[in-house]
Amino acid sequence: MLIYLKKFREQISTGKTSQSRRRSLSLLPAAALLLVSSMTNAYSAPKTLLVLGDSLSAEYGLARGTGWVALLEQRLKAQKNDTRIINASISGETTSGGRARLPALLAKHKPDVVLIELGANDGLRGLPVAAAEANLRAMGDAARKSGAQVVLVGMRMPPNYGRDYADQFYGVYGKLAREWKAPLVPFMFEGIADQPQLFQADRMHPNAQAHPTILKNIWPQLSPLLGAK
């Protein structure tokens, strides 16, 4: 745009442009300002993040404001980042439940980023890996079709579920992330899975002390999509 303006100013100064083109040129500065303004607004507009998860994101057994989603919101506010966070996580949620709920959530909130933290309850119930994969794929595809970027959060099953099942289950997350070229948090419990003192009495749900580490695991994959540092 600036090169275009410079060229026409040179033509005017040498008398090499027509009257009609001179009139058109007079409108260009305003058009340029509008273009720059719209580009700036598009870049700086606050993002909307939709978190679709289960009890691990729904603050199960925790005081409100101590789960990783709440900690994320606090961290963003400290950076003066106005990302709007919709935590649509429900304790006990499975991939089939998330798949059923997602279309309405996308239509209502129109998120820029969708973080999918689901699958743990499927695995703990021994549900077929193929079904969980199909549900996760449907959710990711729906989010991407809506124009949102997807972040996938991986989960591993305890060894007592059998090596083959655990490997197949965990492999789904990497497979889908590669398919979508989407950010993947390899393992939500990295750094806490082998620390019993960081879990509640049920030994399944992390306590409040563990959630800063969970956020630390998720932050590198999520923050660039929110314009955070």
Catalytic residue status for 20: no
Contacts of residue 85, Cβ cutoff 8 Å, sequence gap at least 6? 48, 49, 51, 69, 72, 73, 76
Alpha-carbon distance of 214 to 84, in angstroms, equals: 20
Look-up of token digits 């590669």? 178
CA R_g for the chain? 24
Residues 88-146 pLDDT 10s: 999 999 999 999 999 999 999 999 999 999 999 999 999 999 999 999 999 999 999 99
Among candidate residues 55, 57, 89, 146, the one labeled active-site is 55
| Strand pairing category for 48-53 and 113-117 | parallel
Q: Which of 5-14, 45-54, 145-154 has the lowest mean pLDDT?
A: 5-14
Quick one: CA torsion of 111, 116, 117, 123, rounded to 10 degrees?
Answer: 150
Which has more confidence, 151 or 161? 151
Among candidate residues 18, 26, 194, 202, the one labeled active-site is 202
Residues 40-88 pLDDT 10s: 444 458 999 999 999 999 999 999 999 999 999 999 999 999 999 999 9
Q: 154, 152, 155: which is closest to 180 by C-alpha?
A: 152
Catalytic residue status for 202: yes
Residue 81: CB atoms within 10 A of its CB come to 16
Catalytic residue status for 205: yes
Q: 138, 131, 172, 130: which is closest to 155 by C-alpha?
A: 172
